[in-house]
Amino acid sequence: MARVFSGIKPTGNLTLGNYLGAMRRWVEVDQHQADAVFCVVDLHALTVEHDPARVRRLSRQAATLLLAAGLDPELCTVFVQSHVDEHARLSYVLECVATDGEMRRMVQYKEKAARERERGGSVRLSLLTYPVLMAADILAYGTDEVPVGDDQRQHVELTRDLAVRFNQRYGHTFVVPRATHPVVAARVMNLQEPGSKMGKSDDSGPGIVYLLDEPDVVRKKVMRAVTDSGQGVVYDRAERPGVANLLEILAACTGGNPEDLAAVYDSYGALKKDTADAVVDILKPVQARHRELCADPAYVEGVLRVGAEKARGMARPIVDTAYRAIGLLPPV
Ligand code: AQP
């Protein structure tokens, strides 16, 4: 059975992009067909200006939402990254095979560093080395497949490069993983700025549908989505990105195909109304289960405790092998 690893960063409230681009596939496919490991990657949330209490709250909320979305601890492993020391241990060793040039070429680093500077802040060193920690997250578990949205493609490529380089220099240690992407909704765009990804740490509230938004808030956001000035409902990502985004969201929620759906509508209003309804419907059971789980925090904590133990058991032998291979003396 293939080992699958993926994670979610507690940098903001989880969005429809996180759900359609990643979580839904973890729930519907990966946990059933693979030996799947899912992680709230809280260490990654410290790479930009952060508030400790907020990170703690969002980490708990992300873990609860993963379970609410349908991850089943009987079928897969769910845990919090900082509860398993192997991630940080392996990250340092991988920093010793990565180069600073590689890090500076990462698109997400360039974008986020620019954003930090615009806000007048300084850029944390951990933002630069973030992709190495992500590589450690993946390689520590002997991962075969990493199901992620399109935005993470470059980081998984880097992970592959580091694994191959390490194996060539120090002997075969790591499985070389590959990224897998959803067919529809690999990249859900911001409803107000359809040229940008719907990201949870963006400031543009009205353009982002959060998983815990009330139905009337979801409807308002979708009905106010920016569309294009062209005539008719046409699926064209390059020329008509706003409408294409709505068609992709509707297709992802209803199991349809954006091109076919475009032919069904002759007005933006009808498309928006059906898209809003489809999003409300898909979020309803997740929100209901989230409310139940919030009333039972001991259950969530128990899942995370057992998950961390299982994760340690998987990661420790691989990280120990990497330590020996690179030349570190075993503890006496
Ligand atoms: N808009 C999106 N469309 C499709 N997939 C998406 N993902 C995130 N946004 C979209 C996928 O969700 C998974 C978890 O993402 P993450 O939390 O680790 O970090 P991210 O990709 O950096 O997501 P955000 O929401 O944009 O966070 P911030 O704003 O903090 O950077 C990943 O598989 C991701 O591809």
* pLDDT single digits (tens) 105-117: 999 999 999 988 9
Ligand 1 pocket: which of 4, 5, 6, 9 to mutate (most atoms within 8 A of CB): 9
ipTM of the complex: 0.95
The string of DSSP codes covering 214-234 is: -HHHHHHHHHT----SSSS--
pLDDT tens profile 11-40: 999 999 999 989 999 999 999 999 999 999
**pLDDT value at residue 149:** 75
Q: 331 CA to middle of ligand 1, Å? A: 38
221 labelled catalytic: no
> Which fold, 205-291?
Tyrosyl-Transfer RNA Synthetase (1.10.240)
Which one of the listed residues 112, 220, 272, 284 is annotated catalytic? 112
CA distances from 11 to 14, 49, 120, 134, 193 (A): 9, 10, 19, 15, 20
112 labelled catalytic: yes
| Atom number of ligand 1 nearest to Cα 149 | 35
Torsion angle of C-alpha atoms 89, 91, 92, 95, degrees rounded to 10: 160
Q: With CA atoms as reference, report the closest residue to 98 among 149, 51, 139.
A: 139
pLDDT band at residue 230, thresholds of 50, 70 and 90?
confident
Q: Any residues with CB less than 8 A from the CB of 17 and at least 6 apart, and which?
A: 149, 185, 187, 188, 197, 198, 199, 200, 208
Q: 15 CA to middle of ligand 1, Å? A: 8
Q: 47 CA to middle of ligand 1, Å? A: 15
Nearest-CA residue for atom 23 of ligand 1 = 199
Ligand 1 pocket: which of 152, 189, 193, 279 to mutate (most atoms within 8 A of CB): 152
The string of DSSP codes covering 8-21 is: E--SSS-BHHHIII
Q: What are the b/e assignments for 209-225, b being 16+ CB within 10 Å? A: bbbebeeeebbebbeeb
**pLDDT value at residue 203:** 66
Q: Is the pLDDT of residue 238 over 80?
A: yes
Q: How many whole angstroms from its chain centre is CA 239?
A: 27
pLDDT mean across residues, the chain: 95
pLDDT tens profile 199-223: 887 766 899 999 999 999 999 999 9
110 labelled catalytic: no
187 lines ligand 1 (CB under 6 A): yes
**pLDDT value at residue 228:** 81
CATH 1.10.240.10 spans which residues of the chain?
Answer: 205-291
pLDDT band at residue 278, thresholds of 50, 70 and 90?
very high
pLDDT tens profile 134-187: 999 999 999 999 988 778 899 999 999 999 999 999 999 999 999 998 776 678
Beta bridge partners of 78: 38
Q: Is the pLDDT of residue 246 over 90?
A: yes
151 lines ligand 1 (CB under 6 A): yes
**pLDDT value at residue 185:** 67
Beta bridge partners of 35: 3
- Position with higher pLDDT, 120 vs 41: 41
Q: With CA atoms as reference, report the closest residue to 325 among 162, 93, 137.
A: 93
CATH 3.40.50.620 spans which residues of the chain?
Answer: 3-181+297-326
**pLDDT value at residue 148:** 84
CATH code, 3-181+297-326: 3.40.50.620
| CA–CA separation, 256 and 260 (whole Å) | 8
The string of DSSP codes covering 96-138 is: TTS-HHHHHT-HHHHHHHHHHHHTT-PPPHHHHHHHHHHHHHH
Q: 149 CA to middle of ligand 1, Å? A: 7
Nearest-CA residue for atom 33 of ligand 1 = 148
9 lines ligand 1 (CB under 6 A): yes
**pLDDT value at residue 9:** 95
| Atom number of ligand 1 nearest to Cα 151 | 35
Q: 120 CA to middle of ligand 1, Å? A: 24
